[in-house]
Amino acid sequence: MKKGIAIVIAVFFVCYAVLAVSCAKKSPTEAADPTATATATTAIPPSTVPPFNFETSIDGFTTDGAGSPAISLNTNITYTYNASAGSIRLDFGITTAGNEQLYLRKTLAPAIDMTNKRYALMVYIPADLANKGIGANIFINTPSWVSKWVNIDTAGWVKIELEPGLANVTEIGIQFDALNTNADWTGAVFVDYVTVSDVPPLGTADYGFNTTTEGMLIGTTTGETAVNEIVLNADAGFIKHGAGSMSVSVTATSANPKGYIYWDFASSPQNLTNKTVEVHFYVPAGMNGYGAHLVAKTGAALDWHSGWVNLTTGWVKGSWFVNLADVQQLGIMFDRNGTADFDGIIYVDEYDIRD
Ligand SMILES: [Ca+2]
Ligand SMILES: [Ca+2]
């Protein structure tokens, strides 16, 4: 036993000597050994460029505004997009008596050129917030503010996107706007998968309206018959891309304020899970203030789902995250929206079904 102990001690001293020599040989300019202390006391710097997936941090996003918003990292995958590791949790409250406009924002340094880019994010809307009549503005700053309004009326994960068409974007964000809420609410929404991607070139849409009206039909439901006629247009002044667009003749009055055009997919229902539709309108001055519902009707009962597009004079590009299966009709409903009567033509071009 004594011999064994002596060997162990001898081995220990040999090892110690080898270690000491190897340490002593380290040149003074060599980096210090990484230590747990050094990494633990250095905060992980936030990402500065998209995508932001919030797997380990909130990536420098901040919140402010009314509604007492609070921001934190969520790791409960029930509320992360695509079962990823994390998402942003945004807690806030809204009241009918209040003035709630709260922001989630991120400073971009360096700035990003979004001239031909699409800024998108995923938001998880709890069911008891989807019926409060509120909305959101997805926005950027250059510092000029550019935004797009979306109704918050669908529960679950919703994709919200903006194509600002500007260079030198120094801030991205989303503003939740509860000015017109119909009830008080307190809870959390979740934000994930903030991306900036290229806008695909024109001419790649599923329906180009270049040689035909692409098989669209005119709705005949009472009160929704403001569309009189659809024909192919060849006047380049009203074509977004290619050889043609669709001329839609509308006569809208307070008694007949809506007009519906659609594709009938009853014989082969479409699965548009995780899909977005987008379309270009040339809006005549007389329809300024009107809206277009981008419509999907699902199931045998033709349940109504839609996304709202504000129609303003000139070319308008509208999009809507459909995210529905068993789509039996896909269409557009023009809506007088409580404004003036109109009798004239609006043009439709480049309708696309995309990711
Ligand atoms: Ca994530
Ligand atoms: Ca076209």
Nearest ligand to the CA atom of 213: 2
Nearest ligand to the CA atom of 195: 1
Nearest ligand to the CA atom of 57: 1
Domains of the chain: 62-198 (2.60.120.260), 217-354 (2.60.120.260)
Listed residue (294, 278, 119, 284) closest to 196, CA to CA: 119
Alpha helices in the chain (DSSP H): 2-24, 36-41
Q: What is the pLDDT of residues 113-167, one digit of tens each?
A: 999 999 999 999 999 999 999 999 999 999 899 999 999 999 999 999 999 999 9
> Which pTM value belongs to this model?
0.79
Q: What is the pLDDT of residues 18-75, one digit of tens each?
A: 444 343 333 334 444 444 444 455 555 667 788 999 999 999 999 999 999 999 999 9
User: What's the 193 CA to ligand 1 centre distance in angstroms?
Assistant: 6
On whether the CB atoms of residues 80 and 191 are closer than 8 A, the answer is: no
**Is the N-terminal amide bond of 143 cis, ω within 30° of 0?**
yes
Beta strands in 60-141 (DSSP E): 62-65, 70-74, 87-94, 101-114, 117-125, 134-141
